[in-house]
Chains A and B, each alone.
Chain A
Amino acid sequence: MKIVLVGHGMVGHKFLEALRQLQFPAADVTVLGEEPRTAYDRVHLSDFFAGKTAEDLSLVEPGFFADTGFDLRLNSRAAAIDRRAKTVTTQDGVTLSYDKLVLATGSYPFVPPVKGSDRGQCFVYRTIEDLEAMKEASAISRKGVVVGGGLLGLECAKALRDLGLETHVVEFAPRLMAVQVDDDGGRILRSKIEALGVQVHTERNTLEITDGRQARHRMVFADGSHLETDMIVFSAGIRPRDELARQNALAVGARGGIAIDDQCRTSDPDIYAIGECAAWRDQTFGLVAPGYEMARIAARQLAGEAGAVFAGADMSTKLKLMGVDVASIGDAHGRTPGCRSFRYTDECKQIYKKIVVSADGKHLLGAVLVGNADEYGTLLQMALNGIALPEAPEFLILPAGDGKARPGLGAHELPDSAQICSCNNVSKEQICTAVAEGATSIGEIKACTQAGATCGGCVPLVTQIMKAEMAKLGMAVTDHLCEHFPHSRQELYHLVRVGGIRSFDELLARHGRGLGCDICKPTAASIFASCWNDFVLKGELASLQDSNDYFLGNIQKDGSYSVVPRMPGGEVTPDGLIAVAQVAKKYGLYTKITGGQRVDLFGARVEQLPLIWEELIAAGFESGHAYGKSLRTVKSCVGSTWCRYGVQDSVGLAVELENRYKGLRAPHKIKFGVSGCTRECAEAQGKDVGIIATERGWNLYVCGNGGMKPRHAELIASDLDKTALVRLIDRFLMFYIRTADRLQRTSTWRDNLEGGLDYLKAVLIDDSLGIGDELERQMQHVVDTYQCEWKTAVTDPGVRRRFRSFVNDPQPDARIVFVEERGQIRPARADERVPALAATAELST
């Protein structure tokens, strides 16, 4: 069967995935995509401004087309269809024949017919190219206007604000988000958005755009007023791309869109339409979930499953616009005959909540939540599954003033078939199955079921179901550190901090059992260090340290250690380099430059370590903490001091930051990067903390990673001055130390953080938990009590004595054997060691 798919957007690609999953061998598939790239995640398009690249947003897993054999043609717009000959012709004249044709052409942004809307610096918000053009224009603009105060318009306004523009929203209707929220909700939303520095102009009908006096454009409104701006983005709704249908006399919906039946077939049974371009019962769907459902239905129909039908879709939405929660469920406007509503308004906290219930008061029909949408998951499930309402439904939205728990919805009340993730159609049952098969973190659930992987709105509910299921299966113990402590690392941290606990014996006596092990001892040691910052080898603390921390070096495969002196920011003087080289030469060490811009010296035996360090300290070096779960390096580029593009002194900042946070113990190692301009030569976005200079200060990115699972860091604040930057980093690091699991890098921590980036920003920037000062104080304590561990170690005879190969013999460990390679030493392989070891081998026979 020859299938031609027109449009490789979100829904088109879902269709291809569905075909693959159905293992439909007879399919010979050709894909025509108009855009220059393969399908990407349009829902998260705005993340492009937060540093995500086109590759990050791609929906196509590597090798997809090679594996499936589907023939993909990009930059190929389908220009004509010949229904009788059953062919499609592209704009460059290539003609393809089909047995079945699938249209997934999406929508185009509607630009109102305003005179002057074709002037330069006027944009729409739909594709990566649109955003690239906006970004470029923003660099030469001061002011930006978004025309349209709907969901997309507000998202676009946020993008403009984040690009540093003075931002205005111009809306034709009397309120924002007219489709999703009612008047009262719209009012609260407006004041919240204005509080964030975006100016809102409602009931403004743009008549004309002309030359401005102070800015590039002047928008003239019907009421005679005007507004000047440098750039304009139109976000006044979308229109289905049904032009191919119209040209070929296929039926279209009353309000546009290619008309389809329950099988997703158009009026020509060999042509299907799916996604935003399709109109089902005269209704088009501007959300991705219904489109995904159509994609699955169409694929199953083509594979011969006559029973697969599209049955409409839920249009409930929840989103966060500039940190403001907005949600709308079902019949939000109360249009069902006889329905009644309950409302709650808090003008101080700017919260508005409304529920719409059926005439008999038994079922939830709809809801609007503005300012706080914590109840979204519960209410949505109640509405979708027809769950009986509690006696006094108003308590569903009233704050729990009396301290009593809300009549929430336990995960156990949901039927197994309940659809939890509507974007990817994941049921409760699928999540439970994934748990039973071993997925025990939200990241793993995402990876194997896709739940929460698209819009993320269902993540709290998915987490709740996951935890309930784990408890049911007796797996809830998994967040316990080990058999000795029935607590997670986060709980232990809290117990240590609040209880003022400073020794492992006390911790064990008060909160644990048994003798401890190689899991809980280093964890406790790390927590003690983060909280109290005593010398890590002091007294009993020494016995808790991993071998690396115990010998203040990195153990290598042969039992020798590596030595890494700190070189803050990667800066080192010629004399420093000479001193390092002399030490390396004297002790015969292998030297290598690390990825963190310093020098690593390998092949030191334990008894050599204090001698080597004595010499390094004398030359002015300090411990580099390469052995610890702690701050490693702050990588930097030369910045404005030397580089002709640099806009700030990146090395200076890197040195300062490295000196501030050196020695800080954390759940895992921490790396920083500082780049002197957006060219990003220090690769800061691959680091736990990345800083990129701007004309006006510093942009802060967090939770990036290189290594095994690369992840781009995300922008959390722009154009900070140094004081604000340091404050935010203090908070970030301490919050990570306080809440992460053992050996969890910031990137995995972030992926598992309920509430995601918005939550993190709320805690760090808006201080939503009220712990900002405390975190800063705790960090300051660590900074003030810093010591070079090696300096303390070499000057303490008790500690120094422990650095020897044998307790009863001064000789070195003869099993450490080196051979030469490329002019330096390397550990001998087993076959090369034979002569040296023969002696020992003999003795043991």
Chain B
Amino acid sequence: MSTKKPRWTAVCKIGDILPGTGVCALVEDHHVAVFRLGEDGFYAIDNIDPRSGASVLSRGLIGNLGEHLVVASPLYKNHFDLRTGACLEAPEHSVRAHRVQVRGEAVFVSLSTLS
């Protein structure tokens, strides 16, 4: 399945995500972690932690490591870059990052091209 034009899915209201935390959304049957960093920084990556296969990344703590905005997996504490999905400790465990848009109060996610 690949799309040229981004397809946007409304996932929730801004207020559904407590600043500094994440939620998991189902987007076209994919588990997507949507994070809110501060009041208005929104990021999305796959929710499934490649190391464990569990759908948990939205439950990790977010912050920064140097230049990287990151989430730490709640299971094994490895870090994923919120903008690229790259796993800082083990690049082979990287995930995909997805696009997020806020229109008014609503948060939209568009899945990145699937490889």
Residues of A at the B interface (CB closer than 8 Å) are 483-484, 514-518, 520-522, 540, 542-544, 546-548, 550-551, 555, 557-559, 802, 805-809, 811, 813, 815-816, 830, 833, 839-840, 843-845
Please name all residues of chain A whose beta carbon is closer than 8 Å to the beta carbon of B19 when the two chains form the complex.
540, 543
Whether B48 and A805, one on each chain, are in contact in the complex, defined by CB atoms closer than 8 angstroms, is no
- A contact patch SS: loop
Q: How far is the CB of A818 from chain B (nearest CB, A)?
A: 13
Taken together as a complex, chains A and B put the C-alpha atoms of A522 and B79 apart, in Å, by 16
Contacts of B74 in A (CB 8 A): 546-548, 555
Question: Given A540-B20, A559-B55, A807-B11, are A843 and B29 neighbors across the interface (CB < 8 Å)?
Answer: yes
B30 touches A843 (CB 8 A): yes
Q: Which residue of B lies closest to A807 (CB)?
A: B23
Query: Is B34 in contact with chain A by the CB < 8 A criterion?
Result: yes
- The reply to whether the CB of B12 lies closer than 8 angstroms to some CB of chain A is yes
Q: Report the minimum CB–CB distance from A304 to chain B (whole Å).
A: 51
Distance between Cα atoms of A585 and B102 in the complex (Å): 43
Task: List the interface of chain B (C-beta within 8 A of A).
Answer: 1, 10-12, 16-21, 23-26, 28-31, 34, 37-38, 48, 52-56, 59-66, 69-70, 72, 74-75, 77, 79, 114
A555 pairs with B56, CB closer than 8 A: yes
Give Cα A546–Cα B62 distance, bound, in whole angstroms.
10
Judge whether A559 and B63 touch: CB under 8 Å: no
Q: How far is the CA of A811 from the CA of B48 in the complex (A)?
A: 17
Contact of A521 among B54, B55, B61, B69 (CB under 8 A): B61
A808 x B25 contact (CB < 8 A): yes
Q: Shortest Cβ distance from B84 into chain A, in angstroms?
A: 17
A806 touches B25 (CB 8 A): yes
* Complex contacts, B28 vs chain A, CB 8 Å: 843
B48 touches A544 (CB 8 A): no
Report whether A483 and B56 are in contact in the complex, using a CB–CB cutoff of 8 Å. Answer: no
The docked-state distance in angstroms from the alpha carbon of A544 to that of B62 is 9
CA distance A19 to B64 in the complex (A): 53
A256 to B74, CA, bound (A): 68
Please tell me if the beta carbons of A517 and B72 are within 8 angstroms of each other in the complex: yes
Q: Are the C-beta atoms of B65 and A815 separated by less than 8 Å?
A: no
CB-defined contacts of B26 to chain A, threshold 8 Å: 806, 808-809, 811
Nearest neighbor of B69 in chain A, beta-carbon distance: A515
**B64 adjacent to A517 (CB under 8 Å):** yes
Task: Name the contact of B59 in the complex, choosing from A522, A547, A809 (C-beta under 8 A).
Answer: A547
B29 contacts A517, C-beta separation under 8 Å: no
Cβ–Cβ contact B16 & A807, under 8 A: yes
Known: A555-B56, A557-B75, A844-B114. Contact between A483 and B18, CB under 8 A?
Answer: no
Given contacts A807-B25, A840-B29, 9 further A-B contacts (CB under 8 A): A483-B65, A514-B64, A517-B70, A559-B75, A806-B23, A806-B24, A808-B10, A813-B31, A815-B55
Give the Cβ gap from A338 to chain B, nearest Cβ, in Å. 64
Q: Please, which residues of chain A bring their CB within 8 A of the CB of B59?
A: 547, 550-551, 555
Q: Is the CB of A813 within 8 A of B11?
A: no
Q: What residues on B are CB-neighbors of A809 within 8 Å?
A: 25-26
CB of A522 within 8 A of CB of B56, answer no
